[in-house]
Structure 1
Protein backbone atom coordinates (compact mmCIF):
# COMPACT_ATOMS: atom_id res chain seq x y z
CA UNK A 1 0.00 0.00 0.00
CA UNK A 2 1.31 3.44 -0.80
CA UNK A 3 0.28 6.86 0.56
CA UNK A 4 -2.31 7.43 -2.19
CA UNK A 5 -3.94 4.05 -1.56
CA UNK A 6 -3.93 4.75 2.18
CA UNK A 7 -5.61 8.12 1.64
CA UNK A 8 -8.17 6.67 -0.75
CA UNK A 9 -9.06 3.85 1.63
CA UNK A 10 -9.38 6.06 4.72
CA UNK A 11 -11.65 8.62 3.06
CA UNK A 12 -13.81 5.83 1.63
CA UNK A 13 -14.95 4.97 5.16
CA UNK A 14 -18.22 6.55 6.30
CA UNK A 15 -18.14 10.05 7.83
CA UNK A 16 -14.35 10.42 7.77
CA UNK A 17 -12.72 13.83 7.90
CA UNK A 18 -9.09 14.57 7.14
CA UNK A 19 -7.12 17.41 8.67
CA UNK A 20 -3.62 18.71 9.29
CA UNK A 21 -4.06 19.54 13.01
CA UNK A 22 -0.36 19.99 13.74
CA UNK A 23 0.32 22.46 10.92
CA UNK A 24 1.42 25.21 13.31
CA UNK A 25 3.98 22.99 15.02
CA UNK A 26 7.43 22.76 13.46
CA UNK A 27 7.63 19.38 11.72
CA UNK A 28 3.89 18.80 12.13
CA UNK A 29 2.75 20.56 8.98
CA UNK A 30 2.91 17.31 6.98
CA UNK A 31 1.03 15.10 9.46
CA UNK A 32 -2.29 14.07 7.94
CA UNK A 33 -4.88 12.80 10.43
CA UNK A 34 -8.09 10.93 9.67
CA UNK A 35 -11.02 11.38 12.04
CA UNK A 36 -14.34 9.74 12.75
CA UNK A 37 -16.70 11.27 15.33
CA UNK A 38 -14.13 14.08 15.69
CA UNK A 39 -11.49 11.66 17.01
CA UNK A 40 -8.32 10.32 15.38
CA UNK A 41 -8.22 6.80 14.02
CA UNK A 42 -5.21 7.04 11.68
CA UNK A 43 -2.34 9.42 11.09
CA UNK A 44 0.61 9.58 8.73
CA UNK A 45 3.41 11.99 8.00
CA UNK A 46 2.95 12.46 4.27
CA UNK A 47 6.53 13.70 3.85
CA UNK A 48 7.67 10.20 4.85
CA UNK A 49 4.53 8.23 3.96
CA UNK A 50 5.65 4.93 5.39
CA UNK A 51 4.67 4.76 9.08
CA UNK A 52 0.95 4.99 9.76
CA UNK A 53 -0.40 5.08 13.30
CA UNK A 54 -3.67 3.23 13.94
CA UNK A 55 -5.54 2.37 17.12
CA UNK A 56 -5.58 -1.29 18.08
CA UNK A 57 -6.61 -3.56 20.92
CA UNK A 58 -3.79 -3.80 23.47
CA UNK A 59 -3.56 -7.61 23.41
CA UNK A 60 -3.43 -7.62 19.62
CA UNK A 61 -0.68 -4.95 19.49
CA UNK A 62 1.77 -7.13 21.36
CA UNK A 63 1.12 -10.15 19.15
CA UNK A 64 1.47 -8.17 15.92
CA UNK A 65 4.71 -6.50 17.01
CA UNK A 66 6.22 -9.82 18.09
CA UNK A 67 5.40 -11.65 14.86
CA UNK A 68 5.61 -9.14 11.99
CA UNK A 69 8.39 -6.82 10.84
CA UNK A 70 5.87 -4.36 9.42
CA UNK A 71 4.22 -3.87 12.85
CA UNK A 72 6.06 -1.38 15.04
CA UNK A 73 5.65 1.18 17.79
CA UNK A 74 3.77 4.29 16.69
CA UNK A 75 5.34 7.64 16.08
CA UNK A 76 4.53 10.18 18.83
CA UNK A 77 1.53 8.21 20.19
CA UNK A 78 0.95 5.98 23.23
CA UNK A 79 2.18 2.52 22.24
CA UNK A 80 -0.33 0.89 24.59
CA UNK A 81 -3.21 1.93 22.30
CA UNK A 82 -1.57 2.70 18.95
CA UNK A 83 0.22 0.55 16.40
CA UNK A 84 2.73 1.76 13.83
CA UNK A 85 2.33 0.14 10.41
CA UNK A 86 5.06 0.27 7.81
CA UNK A 87 2.53 0.47 4.99
CA UNK A 88 5.04 -0.11 2.23
CA UNK A 89 5.62 -3.63 3.57
CA UNK A 90 2.29 -4.43 5.26
CA UNK A 91 0.15 -6.71 3.08
CA UNK A 92 -2.70 -4.59 1.63
CA UNK A 93 -5.47 -6.79 3.06
CA UNK A 94 -3.89 -6.61 6.52
CA UNK A 95 -3.37 -2.83 6.30
CA UNK A 96 -7.01 -2.33 5.32
CA UNK A 97 -8.20 -4.63 8.09
CA UNK A 98 -6.14 -2.79 10.72
CA UNK A 99 -7.26 0.64 9.48
CA UNK A 100 -10.87 -0.55 9.50
CA UNK A 101 -10.37 -1.98 12.99
CA UNK A 102 -9.00 1.37 14.21
CA UNK A 103 -11.94 3.20 12.62
CA UNK A 104 -14.38 0.80 14.34
CA UNK A 105 -12.73 1.17 17.76
CA UNK A 106 -13.02 4.95 17.63
CA UNK A 107 -16.47 5.07 16.07
CA UNK A 108 -17.90 2.59 18.58
CA UNK A 109 -16.41 4.42 21.57
CA UNK A 110 -17.57 7.89 20.60
CA UNK A 111 -20.93 6.90 19.15
CA UNK A 112 -21.85 5.32 22.50
CA UNK A 113 -20.96 8.51 24.39
CA UNK A 114 -23.38 10.58 22.31
CA UNK A 115 -26.36 8.40 23.29
Structure 2
Protein backbone atom coordinates (compact mmCIF):
# COMPACT_ATOMS: atom_id res chain seq x y z
CA UNK A 1 0.00 0.00 0.00
CA UNK A 2 1.24 3.48 -0.80
CA UNK A 3 -0.05 6.89 0.23
CA UNK A 4 -2.17 7.31 -2.91
CA UNK A 5 -3.85 3.93 -2.44
CA UNK A 6 -4.46 4.68 1.23
CA UNK A 7 -5.94 8.09 0.44
CA UNK A 8 -8.13 6.82 -2.41
CA UNK A 9 -9.43 3.94 -0.31
CA UNK A 10 -10.42 6.24 2.55
CA UNK A 11 -12.01 8.84 0.27
CA UNK A 12 -14.11 6.22 -1.53
CA UNK A 13 -16.15 5.67 1.61
CA UNK A 14 -19.42 7.55 2.02
CA UNK A 15 -19.34 11.06 3.49
CA UNK A 16 -15.56 11.08 4.04
CA UNK A 17 -13.55 14.28 4.10
CA UNK A 18 -9.84 14.88 4.43
CA UNK A 19 -8.15 17.69 6.28
CA UNK A 20 -5.03 18.78 8.14
CA UNK A 21 -6.32 19.83 11.60
CA UNK A 22 -3.06 19.24 13.49
CA UNK A 23 -0.28 20.38 11.15
CA UNK A 24 0.62 20.51 7.46
CA UNK A 25 1.75 16.86 7.23
CA UNK A 26 -0.81 14.89 9.26
CA UNK A 27 -3.61 13.93 6.88
CA UNK A 28 -6.83 13.09 8.72
CA UNK A 29 -9.87 11.31 7.28
CA UNK A 30 -13.26 11.87 8.86
CA UNK A 31 -16.77 10.56 8.38
CA UNK A 32 -19.36 13.21 9.23
CA UNK A 33 -16.68 15.18 11.08
CA UNK A 34 -15.43 12.24 13.16
CA UNK A 35 -11.88 10.98 12.68
CA UNK A 36 -11.34 7.37 11.59
CA UNK A 37 -7.85 7.36 10.01
CA UNK A 38 -4.73 9.49 9.86
CA UNK A 39 -1.20 9.37 8.50
CA UNK A 40 1.88 11.46 7.84
CA UNK A 41 1.95 12.43 4.16
CA UNK A 42 5.69 13.19 4.11
CA UNK A 43 6.67 9.87 5.60
CA UNK A 44 4.04 7.23 4.81
CA UNK A 45 5.39 4.37 6.90
CA UNK A 46 2.32 3.86 9.08
CA UNK A 47 -1.24 4.97 9.68
CA UNK A 48 -3.58 5.12 12.67
CA UNK A 49 -7.05 3.60 12.73
CA UNK A 50 -9.68 3.14 15.38
CA UNK A 51 -10.21 -0.43 16.56
CA UNK A 52 -12.42 -2.41 18.92
CA UNK A 53 -10.31 -2.78 22.10
CA UNK A 54 -10.38 -6.60 22.13
CA UNK A 55 -9.52 -6.83 18.44
CA UNK A 56 -6.79 -4.22 18.92
CA UNK A 57 -5.11 -6.42 21.52
CA UNK A 58 -5.43 -9.53 19.32
CA UNK A 59 -3.88 -7.73 16.35
CA UNK A 60 -1.01 -6.38 18.45
CA UNK A 61 -0.25 -9.87 19.76
CA UNK A 62 -0.42 -11.46 16.31
CA UNK A 63 1.44 -8.87 14.18
CA UNK A 64 4.62 -6.93 14.87
CA UNK A 65 3.34 -4.26 12.47
CA UNK A 66 0.44 -3.38 14.79
CA UNK A 67 1.14 -1.25 17.85
CA UNK A 68 -0.92 0.83 20.25
CA UNK A 69 -1.93 4.09 18.59
CA UNK A 70 0.90 6.60 18.47
CA UNK A 71 -0.27 9.87 20.08
CA UNK A 72 -3.76 8.35 20.34
CA UNK A 73 -5.92 6.59 22.93
CA UNK A 74 -3.98 3.32 23.25
CA UNK A 75 -7.12 1.33 24.03
CA UNK A 76 -9.06 2.36 20.92
CA UNK A 77 -6.44 3.13 18.27
CA UNK A 78 -3.79 1.09 16.46
CA UNK A 79 -0.78 2.29 14.53
CA UNK A 80 -0.16 0.00 11.57
CA UNK A 81 3.26 -0.12 9.96
CA UNK A 82 2.78 -0.31 6.20
CA UNK A 83 5.89 -2.36 5.42
CA UNK A 84 5.53 -4.86 8.25
CA UNK A 85 4.10 -8.34 8.65
CA UNK A 86 0.41 -7.36 8.39
CA UNK A 87 -0.94 -8.53 5.00
CA UNK A 88 -2.21 -5.71 2.79
CA UNK A 89 -5.73 -7.19 2.77
CA UNK A 90 -5.74 -6.89 6.58
CA UNK A 91 -4.67 -3.26 6.30
CA UNK A 92 -7.71 -2.52 4.17
CA UNK A 93 -9.91 -4.46 6.60
CA UNK A 94 -8.58 -2.34 9.45
CA UNK A 95 -9.54 0.84 7.57
CA UNK A 96 -13.02 -0.60 6.96
CA UNK A 97 -13.34 -1.57 10.62
CA UNK A 98 -12.32 1.90 11.77
CA UNK A 99 -14.79 3.58 9.42
CA UNK A 100 -17.59 1.28 10.55
CA UNK A 101 -16.87 1.88 14.25
CA UNK A 102 -17.06 5.64 13.78
CA UNK A 103 -20.03 5.48 11.39
CA UNK A 104 -22.03 3.28 13.78
CA UNK A 105 -21.58 5.81 16.61
CA UNK A 106 -23.16 8.59 14.54
CA UNK A 107 -26.76 9.59 15.29
CA UNK A 108 -29.27 7.35 13.54
CA UNK A 109 -30.70 10.15 11.40
CA UNK A 110 -27.24 11.10 10.15
CA UNK A 111 -26.37 7.46 9.39
CA UNK A 112 -29.57 7.12 7.37
CA UNK A 113 -28.78 10.28 5.39
CA UNK A 114 -25.26 9.03 4.63
CA UNK A 115 -26.54 5.60 3.58
CA UNK A 116 -28.81 7.27 1.01
CA UNK A 117 -25.79 8.87 -0.71
CA UNK A 118 -24.92 7.34 -4.05
TM above 0.5, yes or no, is: yes
1:17-96 matches, cutoff 5 A: 17-23=17-23, 29-89=24-84, 90-96=86-92
Alpha-carbon RMSD across the aligned residues, in angstroms, is 1.5
Aligned residues: 110
Distance in 1, matches of 2:11 and 2:110, equals 23
TM-score by length of 1: 0.88
C-alpha distance in structure 2 between counterparts of 1:44 and 1:60, whole Å: 21
CA drift at 1:112 = 3.4
Runs (4 or more) in structure 1 with deviation over 6 Å come to none
Deviation at 1:96, TM superposition (A): 0.8
What's the secondary structure of 1:65's corresponding residue? helix
* Structure 2 unaligned regions, length at least 5: 112-118
**3-state DSSP of counterpart to 2:79:** strand
TM-score (norm 2): 0.86
Preserved CA contact (<8 Å) 1:2 1:88: no
Unmatched runs of 5 consecutive residues or more in structure 1: 24-28
